[in-house]
Structure 1
Amino acid sequence: MRRDGDHGADVETDPTDAWQNALAGEHAAVYAYGLIAGRLAEGSAVQRQAASAFALHRKRRDDVMARLVRDGQTPVEAQPAYETGAVDNAAGARRVAQAVEAGLCRSWLVVVGVTTGAARTYAATALTESATTLLAWGGQPSALPGVS
């Protein structure tokens, strides 16, 4: 990681660290969407939306883990639990989903910035999917999704 002298912000420059951070976010997303889907009314629109996001993030998590292993890295493990706050209605589900997707947008934006070629294409697709999902959960559009 280097310090951006003009803005004082930490800027990730190590691709492996960026991929590991994105993986940590995907682990959190799988947990959060499993929680959301499991706590809301079976067959409701919000439950179906969460189940769909769960499947997407589970696949992405598995893809990133495989990439790291292929590169000789040990993937970061999922935490046993994540702090989400209450998820007992659609409003709680939206709040958690927006937070998860905003965090993933930030993580994937970093991966886009430190990769090239097919890796950058994958990260850009992940960023786009998380930004689109953030909007689907009622998040606000921005020039840099997940950055406030």
Structure 2
Amino acid sequence: MIDPLEKALAAEHAAVYAYGVIGGKTDGALRTKATAGFDAHRARRDRLRTLILRRGGTPPEADPAYPLPFDVKDKDDAVRLAVLIEERVVAAYLELAGDGDASLRRLAAQAMQEGAARAYDWRPAVAAFPGMPAERTTGSPPVKTEPTPVPAASP
């Protein structure tokens, strides 16, 4: 069985690699966003490596390359990859969020929150909750414009 810390580290290694690709297919504000994502995942990767070492483990090293889920040909593909990578990193931290060590739970919760926020920043859309329609939605829910009836005051 793979240790949850190692699983999270493997996801961070893959994210660092993917953000290198994302940065290479973007420019301007998108490249700035890619650089910030790269730096965030690199910092989290280094923190996880340190945690594993402190616990007496041997952190897995990064692979020389990672297979991408699709060809990244342009900035639209890069944005799509960034969202997918963030979603996968969030999923990798789920098991760690259930650890008995409160500090690891906090680490996982923070990593998941940051990953979800980065994914949303790349593409402001939210996946449906279980039981809701499967399509992704954007924007705010419709606002009820009819006035709410006010009960008559008693004499």
TM-score, normalization by structure 2: 0.76
> Quick check: which one's helix share is greater?
1
Q: CA 1:141/1:116 → structure 2, altered by over 3 Å: closer, same or farther?
A: farther
1:56 alignment partner, one of 40, 43, 46: 40
Q: Is structure 2 residue 46 aligned with structure 1 residue 69?
A: no
Cα drift, residue 88 of structure 1: 3.1
Q: Is structure 2 residue 96 aligned with structure 1 residue 111?
A: yes
Runs of 4+ that moved beyond 6 A: none
Give the whole-Å Cα distance in 2 for the aligned partners of 1:46 and 1:63. 26
Give the whole-Å Cα distance in 2 for the aligned partners of 1:69 and 1:27. 16
TM-score, normalization by structure 1: 0.79
Question: Aligned-pair RMSD on alpha carbons?
Answer: 1.9
Judge conservation of contact 2:94–2:108 (CA < 8 Å) in 1. yes
**Counterpart amino acid of residue 116 in structure 1:** D
The one-character-per-residue Cα deviations of 1:45-87 (angstroms, maximum 9, x if unpaired) are 1111000000000000000000000000010111111122322
Judge conservation of contact 1:27–1:61 (CA < 8 Å) in 2. yes
**Alignment size in residue pairs:** 129
Alignment correspondent of 2:65: 81
The one-character-per-residue Cα deviations of 1:95-148 (angstroms, maximum 9, x if unpaired) are 11111111111111211012432121111100100011111111632459xxx9
Matched-pair identity in %: 36
Q: Is structure 2 residue 130 aligned with structure 1 residue 130?
A: no
**Counterpart amino acid of residue 31 in structure 1:** Y
Q: CA 1:30/1:115 → structure 2, altered by over 3 Å: closer, same or farther?
A: farther
Pick the structure with greater CA Rg: 2
